[in-house]
Amino acid sequence: MDRNTVLAIGLSTLVIIGGFTLQSKLFPTAEKPQSASRADAVKIEDTAAGAQSSGAIDPVSIEAVSASPSSLEAEASDTAETFVIETDLVRVTFTNKGGDIVSYKLKEHLDKGEPVEMAGGTADGNRAFSLLLGSVNGTAVDQIFSVKRISDTEIGFFRPMIVKKADGSEARFTLVKQYRFVPGEYLFELKITVDGDRELQGLAFGDAAYTLRASPRFGPDWDVKQDKYEYRKYFHLLNGKKKSVTVNQGQSKAVADKFTWAAVAGKYFTIVAIPENFIQGVSYSSAFAADGTANSQLLLVHQPIEGSRNTDVWRFYVGPRTDKQLAKYNVVGNNAFKLGDANINEMVESSGILAPLEMLLKWFMELFYKLVPNWGVSIILMTILMRIVIFPLTKKSSEATHKMQEHAPKMQEIQDKYRGNPQKLNEELAKFYKESGYNPLSGCLPLLIQFPLIFAMYNLFNNYFEFRGAMFIPGWIPDLSRGDSVMLFPFSLPFLGDNLRILPIIYVVSQLLFGKVTQTPTANQQNSSMKFMMYGMPLVFFFLFYNAPAGLLLYWTFSNVLTLGQQVIINRMMESRKPAGLELVKK
């Protein structure tokens, strides 16, 4: 097997691996106040009863009781009710059962014409920002709480409780949850207070006081099997560095690191938990809900509480995964909560070391959008700019390819002559390269230089938040963050789904034409490898990227068209310079 054959096979393997790597990388009411004078005892059995507690007490059980709430100036009800707080950005619906959230809508971001829901999949026993007594397997607090509206953007829930200890004695405390929202921000504050009498010397169920659960599901609904470009990922910030945690579908994973924040993220939206003080740990859950859909949830475990009174301050960012919104919590003066250096903008998907290049590309694209307020047009203009910038590299690579064609006969002659003597073969080839002035790597280097730009463009077009819901052509590409669609099949096809998409077909055709124009003459033993590269790889990419975001495919397709035109021009230039007796490959 000669050197060129090995090179062709190696290149084919590299492209296949690269394709699958990219795929795996890209595939998280009216109020009705009533009196509360009657006694109402509801027993909550401690699931960790009998376990050794790290706190001052080891309760056998805890009871929720209703008492006169006059000291808190609140009103209570003996039935479940909902309450709404609304700002310019969010509309949040609470229930007095546990003081939890049952709906959290982002008013400025839509999903199928409705505000995006960030508290999806809620049910009795698993609502958003609910409490469990003890660890992640503890008992859910599901009793009716008294409610106090503090202001238009603040609300409090509280419930008196009785702790029954193993020795038969009792201690009382009030459990309080207080929420505060601020106009113009997607971050809210939640204070959880345990306010006990002198008999309460601590609170612990096993090795934890309570577990706070974030939303079971958030963001637009997505099909885990079909939509490979949406995802749910888990992160936390540890010692200033973002760490990712892999959680298989249907499973959970506990982490005890001393993190600064923990988060679950989708492609465009995220929930970030920022405890004011260190807590015991976090559990990332990717379990399935009762209806078969995939939940993606944070469970934040608080260590045992010591003493009779304790207040924990939690802050949660629940909103779009954009640097504009997340970065404001790095500067104290930019947010109402006076947070600084929170670094939750680490959540934004970036190209790593290529992030500065991606920021530059984003700046140009946003400039084009100001000129023509259509993100599809902006993608096209950006692609034109990029092809102009890298045209000299493309031209140099093509010239090197044509030069290789000129020297191919002589190189083949040397290879045949010294086939049995590799050392002599390399010496003669090196001598030939020096005499002819030909560098065999001259065609590869321009391509390698383009790779950083290609990867930065890929990440930008695949993750740019502004593409979400952005229309390019009505009736064909209504949303650049999703695949285009011209027809919905009454059935689902493997790898393709139930949509007929035109952009992937155009992309494959453009790729085949480009391969045809840029092919070079090869020996017979290389034909199978080159035919696979020319015809097989575009078909592989067709299936890999069939459901890719339209913005990404639009960039690739238009880039192919422009590159094809550039190649035709270059070929004509090379044809005019061709020495007599040499023929370019038949196109």
Q: 51-65, 319-333, 484-498: which has the highest mean pLDDT?
A: 319-333
Domain boundary among 349, 372, 399: 349
419 and 536 inside one domain: yes
Buried b (16+ CB within 10 A) or exposed e, 177-207: bbbbbbeebbbbbbebbbbbeeebbbbbbbb
The secondary element (H helix, E strand) that includes residue 442 is none
395 and 513 inside one domain: yes
Domain boundary among 349, 370, 394: 349
| pLDDT classification of 290: cutoffs 50, 70, 90 | low
330 and 359 inside one domain: no
* Residue 218: Cβ-neighbour burial (10 angstroms; 0-12, 13-18, 19+): buried
Q: Does residue 122 have a pLDDT over 70?
A: yes
360 and 293 inside one domain: no
Residue 19 lies in a domain: no
Higher pLDDT, 187 or 495: 187
309 and 275 inside one domain: yes
Buried b (16+ CB within 10 A) or exposed e, 377-416: ebbbbbbeebbeebeebbbbbbbbbbbbbeebeebeebee
How many separate domains does the chain show? 2
Higher pLDDT, 583 or 478: 478
Q: Does residue 339 have a pLDDT over 60?
A: yes
Residue 150 lies in a domain: yes
96 and 212 inside one domain: yes
Whole-angstrom Cα distance, residue 547 to residue 504? 8
| pLDDT classification of 338: cutoffs 50, 70, 90 | very high
443 and 468 inside one domain: yes
Instruction: Please state the three-class secondary structure of 71-116 as a single string.
Output: HHCCEECCCCCEEEEECCCEEEEEECECCEEEEEEEEEEEECCEEE
323 and 443 inside one domain: no
pLDDT value for 531: 67
Q: Got the DSSP string for 40-57?
A: --EEEE-TTTTSPPSSS-
Residue 8 lies in a domain: no
Cβ(87)–Cβ(106) below 8 Å: no
Q: Show the DSSP H helices in 372-440 as ranges.
A: 375-389, 391-417, 422-436
279 and 385 inside one domain: no
Whole-angstrom Cα distance, residue 460 to residue 549? 12
Mean pLDDT of 399-408: 71
* Residue 418: Cβ-neighbour burial (10 angstroms; 0-12, 13-18, 19+): middle
146 and 289 inside one domain: yes
Whole-angstrom Cα distance, residue 328 to residue 330? 5
Mean pLDDT of 249-274: 92
Higher pLDDT, 50 or 266: 266
Residue 7 lies in a domain: no
pLDDT above 70 covers a percentage of the chain that reads: 79
Residue 586 lies in a domain: no
Q: Look-up: residue for tokens 């339209």?
A: 550
* Residue 540: Cβ-neighbour burial (10 angstroms; 0-12, 13-18, 19+): middle
Cβ(304)–Cβ(204) below 8 Å: yes
Q: Look-up: residue for tokens 């390399």?
A: 426
> What letter represents residue 483's amino acid?
G
| pLDDT classification of 51: cutoffs 50, 70, 90 | very low
> What letter represents residue 356's amino acid?
P
Whole-angstrom Cα distance, residue 354 to residue 455? 8
Q: Which of 61-70, 196-205, 249-258 has the lowest mean pLDDT?
A: 61-70
The secondary element (H helix, E strand) that includes residue 322 is none
**Domain range for 50:** 36-349
Domain containing residue 144: CATH number: 2.70.98.90
What is the residue-averaged pLDDT of the chain? 79
Residue 98 lies in a domain: yes
Question: What's phi and psi for 437, nearest 5 deg?
Answer: 75, 20
CA quadruple 356, 455, 572, 568: dihedral sign: negative
Domain boundary among 327, 349, 371: 349
110 and 197 inside one domain: yes
